[in-house]
Amino acid sequence: MISDKHTPHQYKPDACKLRYRLARNFIDQFYTSTYDATDDPGEGQQRLGVRSNFLGQFNFKSMTREALNEMDIIVNPSYIPSGKLKGRVAIITGGDSGIGRSIAVLYAKEGADIAIVYLKNGRDAQFTRKLVSAEGKICRLYKGDISEESFCRDVVRSVVKDFGLLSILVNNAGMHVPDSSLKDISSRQFKRTFDVNMFSFYYFTHEALKFMKKGSSIINTASVVAFRGSDHLIDYSASKGAIVSFTRSLSKNLATKGIRVNAVAPGPVWTPLIFESFSKSHIAEFGKENPMKRAGLPREVAPAYVFLASEDASFISGQVIHVNGGEIVD
């Protein structure tokens, strides 16, 4: 496991715009110093700027993996933090990129220290760590396979030892492999999907509950496909359905202890997993089937996690927030 220490500073809400500009400057420097020519950073470094009509001007048809590193895609520049998570410590699995990265940055803006769990992309993880550090918060990195119970247990214990507490657990990491038929899904793949997508949630939560106190929050990442299914992601959809049931059942079990358990069910959202899993033809049509006719950005999903982790959601547990571009699901 990799661990990094940084000194936190006092939260100052009036400095949010300055921190945003500093983060943008950091991104420019990071691209130059870290990404080599083979990564084609030019695609992802379109100078989008801080503009109020960003979504109206952004060309979703030309989305690239590299563009996910743009600050405008990670965080809405108009986001104004108010110290909602000050003094808290959060574990975020899959916090190195995509939705997890946006959650990490917003949590840091709101005053939380962060522990990011990731599988293998150290460059993404370091990038996110520096974004969190730019907010003056501590960010630790833990590299490993969340399908292994011992690794999950060690991460939780290490976080509690280093930070002295654990306030928020975001079970966010997941995987999927598209297949056109159940016949194409091997038993090994089916088991692996559940090991990563469902059993890891159990492993982390089981250990975290040994340390969580009243007022703590557990947030699980489900998916719109848990409710409507997917003909090409059968095992993934099944695992996400299990997460919804896990969330609802655990919330009832922990309600009297003051620990809230909720979920967020994103619809189609641009993340690295999309570019790693699907064909170019699929990516070209990605998200166009929902009412808004586009896929979402990580920055459009992360605020739901802030809400659920904060006191604003103190009377909410066992619920699923649907951030899916307008699709109505039961």
Helix (H) or strand (E) holding 263: strand 260-266
- C-alpha dist (Å) from residue 212 to 8, 43, 147, 255, 305: 22, 43, 22, 13, 18
Torsion of CA 144, 146, 148, 150, to 10 degrees: 70
Contact 213, 161 (CB under 8 A): no
Tokens found for residue 190? 């089916």
Pairing of strands 139-143, 168-171: unpaired
Nearest-angstrom CA–CA distance, 129 and 327: 33
Nearest-angstrom CA–CA distance, 194 and 305: 23
Pick the catalytic residue from 11, 203, 236, 305.
Answer: 236
Query: For the chain, how far is it from start to end, CA to CA, in angstroms?
Result: 40
Distance of CA 261 to the CA centre of its chain: 16
Is residue 31 part of the annotated active site? The answer reads no
Nearest-angstrom CA–CA distance, 301 and 323: 6
Cα-flanking dihedrals φ and ψ of residue 121, to 5°? -85, 85
Which residue numbers are catalytic? 236
